[in-house]
Structure 1
Amino acid sequence: MNRRTFVALSTSAVGLTPWYSHAFFFNDPPKPAWLKEWVKINDQRLESYQKYRITDSDSQAYGGCMDGNDIPNPHSTADFIKRVSLALSNRESAYYHSADLMNQVGLALKFLLKIQHEDGTIDLLETNFHSTPDTGFIVKRLAMAYKQLAASNAPGSEKILPDYKAFLVRGGEALKVGGIHTPNHRWVVSAALTKLNELWPNPAYVARIEEWLAEHIDMDADGQYNERSTYIYSPLTNRLLITIAKGLKKPELLAFVRRNLNMTMYYVHPNGEIVTEASGRQDKALIGTMESYYYAYRYMALLDNNGQMAAMCRLIENTAAMRQAEFLDYMLDDSFLWKELPASKPLPTNYAKEFLGSGLVRIRRENWDSTLFTNNAAWLTFHKGNAVLQGMRVAASFFGKGQFQSEKIEKEGNSWVLKSKLEGPYFQPIAKEEIAADGDWEKMPKSKRRQSEIQYLESIVRITEGDNGLEVDIQMQGTDGVPVSLELIFRAGGVLSGVINHPNKEKAYLLTATNGTYQLKGDTITFGPGKALHKNVQLRGALPAVDAPTVYLTGFTPFKHTIRIS
């Protein structure tokens, strides 16, 4: 089958229009230099897969790929198939039209078909079995890779494409009817069905997509998706919504992508990392860079001629260049993305902005930034280039529940204020009529007992901008004499000065001097003054220490201390 014939068969029913897709596979422009480099990076990643391939023909998993724990699985195998397909299909690859790789991908496809369930699903062996969402993740990416390979005229491809199609079509049967776990899974399934519908149009695919879209897009007033997963699922959702918008000619979905991309500009640290601490998913508090957003920023920059989104692309190119190539299939799928970006316009680098939906405040002043959090024990972070204060926490030894966090952030004048109030009661004998005949304590709950000798702990944290940084005023009062421990948790790899080693704990330091410093790669955070009235830094009821260099300030209630960070 030649290239022109394939395109006619696979896209004739889609009804391409200028806004839907700017890729015409029989007339693509030359690849730009950066995309050719991505193809070479894909080659490098592909080489690393060879040690995970199962080459023993007597093995039940022959042809498949293992994960890092030596478990053959569909995800590693599918990623191998995707990478090989892209390499075989692009002249810039060292493996273009490789007969050996064609044989390898054929074996991998047979393994993938072997472990695909009769209902079309696959398993995520870590946790999900007969999983429609995980089938969607794989089908979405393999459908794009299939299109590349089928259009390439690679010798031997005609022998493996039937197995390729069989896996995808069987997966489509699962996607038409299967359920989901999380909000983004709806769009994973819908985007996968969209790509299948481009290859093999099916009204049932579209009907299922419409069923999921009828639930509306899960976006708050700030522009953030329900899961608040800034490193993993927000950028994923942007890619998925663009896919659905293009494939089903629904440009209204792009409005949600625009809103999220505009919001995300305010979530970027000066070194190109992204705020993750408010995530509701597994990327919470991970160190994350912006590569996963590149596709969406590039697409919208070109579609809208948007200079700020173009500037975000260039920022990502400068801070996460190698990792961008993980989305090579997206870029090859639409040559519209190969165009030159518009001229950059300035990005926001000087602001104080609330994001109530995510329960945080972002403050950035050019080369430093801070994030304040509600409902989070680590209620403040501070970044200054490469030097990072990962979190500030404070706790008191108050009835095993003295770890401070605040349900809300309030603006009072020039300050942001976080508060909490705790009670520590004792309990009187239970009423006679409530006494359990068998003396079972659980049958005489505290909720039925009168409280007495109630102790109180009121905590107020007031954060105010100062000279090139923040002033953090902490007041904890109520019951007197309660031990307090304030933690400054820094990123590993830097050098602390002006502090003393804790005598009993590793990676723990006390600040007794006027100021301490933390330096990493030429950037310095200064903090102080110190206070160290005791050495009990791991208080009962407080969260365990983080495995990171941590500076402690200690005292007793009434605890009043202002620490400056710059």
Structure 2
Amino acid sequence: MRARAERWLAEGIDQQSDGLYSERSAVYAVFVSNPSLAVIGDVFDRPDLHDVVVRNLEATLGLIHPDGSVETVHSRRQDQRGEPFPLAPYLVAYRRFAIERGRGDLAWAAERAAAQGIIEPHTVLAELLLDPRLAEPLPVADPPAATRREAWEASRLVVDASPSRTVVLYGGSDYPRQRRIRSGLASNPTFLRMFAGEVVLDSVRLSRDFFGLGPFRAAEIDHDGDAVVLVERLEGRYYQPLAEGDRRADGAYDLADESRFSAAMSFPDRQAETVVLRSRIAARPTEGGVELEITTDGPELPWALELAFRAGGAFEGVPEAADGSVRLDTGTARYRVGSSTVEFGPGVGGSGPARYHPGEDYGYLGATDAVGGRRAYIVGSTPGVARVFVRAS
């Protein structure tokens, strides 16, 4: 068994340069990768494997949000869309290495994880019996700086935090390259999240219907001064009639994949007219929130910027539709939870529908990756430039 394990280890550990594993998944790191590497490091006397775990825990520190969740928008696994992922399962790992290495930053995370309650008490008890050092006192907690900007370059993720808000910007989708939705690929179209007091803006997405290719999903992230720039280029094709020599009297042409759909149309034998849609979102974090400059170039078509707030609050300054959503055509509006308020806008006066379109990858199955919560829409059109802000007020 040891020889087989060492054969797997000889392939190397899939840890990215930013400290996250290639799956970029909190659930896999906390339940699979980190505990496995920690045990193998113990049994095989491989402290280098413990170093891998610590690098992952260090990378995760900046992904811990004010609500105690761990960011997963960049994940390639099942936790990329769904309920907030809690810090609690990280308790044993953070506690162990905080004690072993005298790390106050890891101790801070261990204390936050413990405050959420113990997940799987039987597992924690077993860990304590196997390693009584886990019961030793933690080092003095050393919390992260209240004002900071951190980047996970390999995952194309940025977290910009200030005392009044935390902004998450993401441009690491696999979809533009792979052109498919499946487990193991990062496909979440959320490019912005924000935490401001009691208000949580869970998701900001740019929706449009361009050849059924779905919402904006940036595959790259760049920096322009203090702005984070997300860019996407999409292509769709209009196919032309077959040349005379390629025609068949019986109409029986090859079933072929066009990358968007399949049809018995012998696509490789046809000339095609390519249509390009370019989208650029420059996000500039401000003291209280973030400013967005949305630049689009391509055919005329409507788009809808969807802001999905976590439930529990109320919109102000704009009427609600029957489903509880709002459409902001002019001016600004607010979302309030308790004593916290986030203002957003202005509306840009677009005439398209205020809705989210998931694209044909979901639509042909009658499915969707739409988020829940309280949704607000700002509607515009391509081509052009629109400027929108979101800020705590």
Is TM > 0.5 for Structure 1 vs Structure 2?
yes
Q: Which residue matches 1:182?
A: none
Q: Which residue matches 1:382?
A: 194
Q: Any conservation in 1 of the 2:348–2:380 contact (CA below 8 Å)? A: yes
Q: Any conservation in 2 of the 1:498–1:511 contact (CA below 8 Å)? A: no
Q: Which has the higher helix share?
A: 1
309-318 or 348-357: bigger deviation: 348-357
Residues 87-117 of structure 1, C-alpha deviations (whole Å, 9 max, x = no match): xxxxxxxxxxxxxxxxxxxxxxxxxxxxxxx
2:75 equivalent to 1:279: yes
In 2: Cα distance, 1:541 partner to 1:296 partner: 37
Shift of 1:497: 2.0
Query: 2:139 is paired with a residue of what secondary structure?
Result: coil
In 1: Cα distance, 2:357 partner to 2:135 partner: 57
Give the TM-score, by structure 2 length: 0.83
Q: Which residue matches 1:495?
A: 314
Match of 2:374 among 549, 557, 565: 549
Q: Which residue matches 2:326?
A: 509
Change (3 A) 1:312 1:546: closer
Q: Any conservation in 1 of the 2:302–2:350 contact (CA below 8 Å)? A: no
Match of 1:415 among 227, 242, 258: 227
Q: Which has the higher contact order (CA 8 A, sep 6+)?
A: 2
**1:281-320 correspondence to structure 2 within 5 Å:** 281-285=77-81, 286-318=83-115, 320=116
Shift of 1:250: 2.0
2:175 equivalent to 1:365: no
Percent of matched pairs sharing the same residue: 30
Change (3 A) 1:359 1:415: same
Q: Which residue identity lines up with residue 357 of structure 1 in the other structure?
A: A
**1:175-254 correspondence to structure 2 within 5 Å:** 205-234=1-30, 236-254=32-50
Question: Which structure is larger by alpha-carbon Rg, 1 or 2?
Answer: 1
Q: Any conservation in 2 of the 1:416–1:464 contact (CA below 8 Å)? A: yes
In 2: Cα distance, 1:353 partner to 1:338 partner: 32
In 2: Cα distance, 1:386 partner to 1:541 partner: 29
Change (3 A) 1:501 1:562: same
Change (3 A) 1:541 1:278: closer
Give the TM-score, by structure 1 length: 0.59
Residues matched between the structures, number? 357
Change (3 A) 1:414 1:433: same
Shift of 1:260: 0.7
Q: Which residue identity lines up with residue 62 of structure 2 in the other structure?
A: Y
In 2: Cα distance, 1:422 partner to 1:211 partner: 42
Change (3 A) 1:478 1:465: same
In 1: Cα distance, 2:268 partner to 2:355 partner: 30
Shift of 1:281: 1.4
Shift of 1:322: 4.3
Residues 251-299 of structure 1, C-alpha deviations (whole Å, 9 max, x = no match): 2211101111111111111222110111111111331111111111111
Shift of 1:552: 0.6
Match of 1:478 among 298, 320, 324: 298
Q: Which residue matches 2:365?
A: none
Q: Which residue identity lines up with residue 347 of structure 2 in the other structure?
A: G
In 2: Cα distance, 1:267 partner to 1:558 partner: 35
In 1: Cα distance, 2:226 partner to 2:238 partner: 40
Q: Which residue matches 1:85?
A: none
Q: Which residue identity lines up with residue 218 of structure 2 in the other structure?
A: S
Match of 2:212 among 367, 391, 400: 400
In 1: Cα distance, 2:311 partner to 2:294 partner: 26
2:369 equivalent to 1:558: no
Q: Which residue matches 2:278?
A: 458
Q: Any conservation in 1 of the 2:238–2:272 contact (CA below 8 Å)? A: yes
Q: Which residue matches 1:78?
A: none
Q: Any conservation in 1 of the 2:30–2:89 contact (CA below 8 Å)? A: no
In 2: Cα distance, 1:356 partner to 1:517 partner: 33
In 2: Cα distance, 1:330 partner to 1:538 partner: 49
Q: Which residue identity lines up with residue 460 of structure 1 in the other structure?
A: R
Q: Which residue identity lines up with residue 281 of structure 1 in the other structure?
A: R
In 2: Cα distance, 1:222 partner to 1:234 partner: 17
Give the gaps of 5 or more residues in structure 1.
Answer: 1-204
Shift of 1:535: 5.6
In 2: Cα distance, 1:522 partner to 1:316 partner: 26
Q: Any conservation in 1 of the 2:327–2:354 contact (CA below 8 Å)? A: no
Change (3 A) 1:338 1:379: same
Give the gaps of 5 or more residues in structure 2.
Answer: 174-187, 255-263, 363-367
Change (3 A) 1:430 1:557: same
Q: Which residue identity lines up with residue 287 of structure 2 in the other structure?
A: D
Change (3 A) 1:232 1:516: farther
Shift of 1:334: 1.4
2:61 equivalent to 1:265: yes
Q: Which residue matches 2:288?
A: 468
**1:92-131 correspondence to structure 2 within 5 Å:** none
Q: Any conservation in 1 of the 2:329–2:379 contact (CA below 8 Å)? A: no
Q: Which residue matches 1:45?
A: none
Shift of 1:491: 1.6
Residues 475-504 of structure 1, C-alpha deviations (whole Å, 9 max, x = no match): 223323x1111111122222222232235x
Change (3 A) 1:492 1:347: same
Q: Which residue matches 2:133?
A: 336
Change (3 A) 1:357 1:534: same
Match of 1:530 among 347, 366, 375: 347
* Superposed CA RMSD: 2.4
Residues 377-420 of structure 1, C-alpha deviations (whole Å, 9 max, x = no match): 11111122442111111122333225211110111222111122
Q: Which residue identity lines up with residue 428 of structure 1 in the other structure?
A: Q
Q: Which residue matches 1:31?
A: none
Q: Which residue matches 1:100?
A: none
Residues 442-498 of structure 1, C-alpha deviations (whole Å, 9 max, x = no match): 45423322234x544221111012232110111223323x11111111222222222
